[in-house]
Amino acid sequence: MNSFWQKIIIRTILKKPKKKSTNYSNYALAKGYREFAILAKRHVKDFFLITLGIFSATFGFKGFLLTNHFIDGGATGISLLVSALTSIPLYLLIIGVNIPFVILGYRIMGQAFAIKTALAITGLSVCLATVSFPDVTTDNLLVAVFGGFFLGAGIGLSVRGGAVIDGTEVLAIYLSRKFGTTIGDIIVVINVIIFAAAAYFLGIEVALYSMITYLAASKTLDFIVEGIDEYIGVTIISSRSEKMRQMIINNMGRGVTVYSGKGGYGKRGETKEVDIIYTVITRLELNKLNTEIEKIEPTAFVVMNSVKDTKGGMIKKRPLKH
């Protein structure tokens, strides 16, 4: 390993006092290099997913929704509604409407999430302002269905990349923690208000088509994002269970449950005592958790299952740490 990479790893991964006399063992450098490679790979993947999501959402906007003044739910729907009623360009509204959600995301999700989301929303705005797409069809039903499909795909791909281009879900997570309601209920209330406003200002027919757009976008997002529901239960079986437990508590800001179990292996079915880690996270944290698990033990056995909702515990009480 040359001196250039050693300096990069020391500054970004090891993060120890940078004294001239400090010597790092080959093991520490190799471990740092491995973590650096994991993070680099993850960031490249996230960048690709978010970029693909931005172009998909832009195609949904400019190829389908804008010409017919159809809207979606959430912050995107608010931007489309205001754009249809005023002369303000959509690319400016996308940024303006989402700024409060980015700030809120910084408070409850952490700095890394907020930066990713701000860059993703800015990229979407730039793409809307500079990239042209032809109008694909004038059929209202096709516009509603496929406009929602490409918009939902764009939002879903961005979530897979660890960011959002529609900040409503961040608001829903915050309000669910504050009032103890479910995320789904809050999103429904927000969208009812948006579609009621669309019916009043744009007409009943446009509002009904917009609801089809929202349903298409919602189902597409659910299909793309691993973990259709708001919460994901994660079971981890690892030979380094204590480090996994500490990582979830300290890095993820989540509570854990530790089960004592036995793992079977080999042709004779030998068993071995093992601690089984269980935790519940939101789907926006899935990207970070996978990265942290890979740092500790890439071969750990991880089982994820959808959780409809949770009550009590640390999932709604303690801010997320990114």
Shared-domain flag, residues 286 and 146: no
Shared-domain flag, residues 220 and 99: yes
Residue 153: the pLDDT is 93
Q: Output the domain CATH number for residue 293.
A: 3.30.70.120
Shared-domain flag, residues 201 and 251: no
Residue 293: the pLDDT is 92
pLDDT band (50, 70, 90) for residue 122 = very high
Shared-domain flag, residues 206 and 290: no
Shared-domain flag, residues 206 and 254: no
Residue 319: the pLDDT is 39
Query: Is residue 5 domain-resident?
Result: no
% pLDDT > 90, the chain? 40
Query: Is residue 313 domain-resident?
Result: no
Residue 322: the pLDDT is 36
- Among 224, 253, 277, residue at a domain's last position: 224
Shared-domain flag, residues 131 and 67: yes
118 has a pLDDT exceeding 70: yes
Cα torsion through 244, 246, 249, 251, rounded to 10: -80
Residue type, 111: Q
Residue 213: the pLDDT is 93
Shared-domain flag, residues 261 and 194: no
Shared-domain flag, residues 164 and 277: no
SS3 content of the chain, % helix, strand, coil (to 5): 65, 10, 25
What is the spatial distance between Cα 304 and Cα 171, in angstroms, rounded to a whole number?
25
106 has a pLDDT exceeding 70: yes
Query: Is residue 267 domain-resident?
Result: yes
How many domains, the chain?
A: 2
Domain assignment of residue 242, given as a range: 231-307
Q: Is 139 helix (H, G, I), strand (E, B) or coil?
A: coil
Query: Is residue 315 domain-resident?
Result: no
pLDDT in tens, 261-288: 877 766 666 677 888 999 998 877 888 8
pLDDT in tens, 50-92: 999 999 999 999 999 988 888 888 899 999 999 988 989 999 9
DSSP for 179-247, written as a single string = H---HHHHHHHHHHHHHHHHHHHH-HHHHHHHHHHHHHHHHHHHHHSSSSSSEEEEEEE-TTHHHHHHH
Q: How many CB atoms lie within 10 A of CB 132?
A: 7
Shared-domain flag, residues 152 and 68: yes
More confident residue, 306 or 316: 306
pLDDT band (50, 70, 90) for residue 21 = very low
Residue 315: the pLDDT is 56
Shared-domain flag, residues 235 and 185: no
More confident residue, 33 or 213: 213
Query: Is residue 10 domain-resident?
Result: no
More confident residue, 8 or 103: 103
Structure tokens at 268: 């004779």
Q: How many CB atoms lie within 10 A of CB 58?
A: 25
More confident residue, 11 or 209: 209
pTM score: 0.71
Shared-domain flag, residues 120 and 261: no
**Closest C-alpha among 225, 200, 81, 206 to residue 143:** 206
Query: Is residue 96 domain-resident?
Result: yes
Residue 318: the pLDDT is 40
Query: Is residue 29 domain-resident?
Result: no
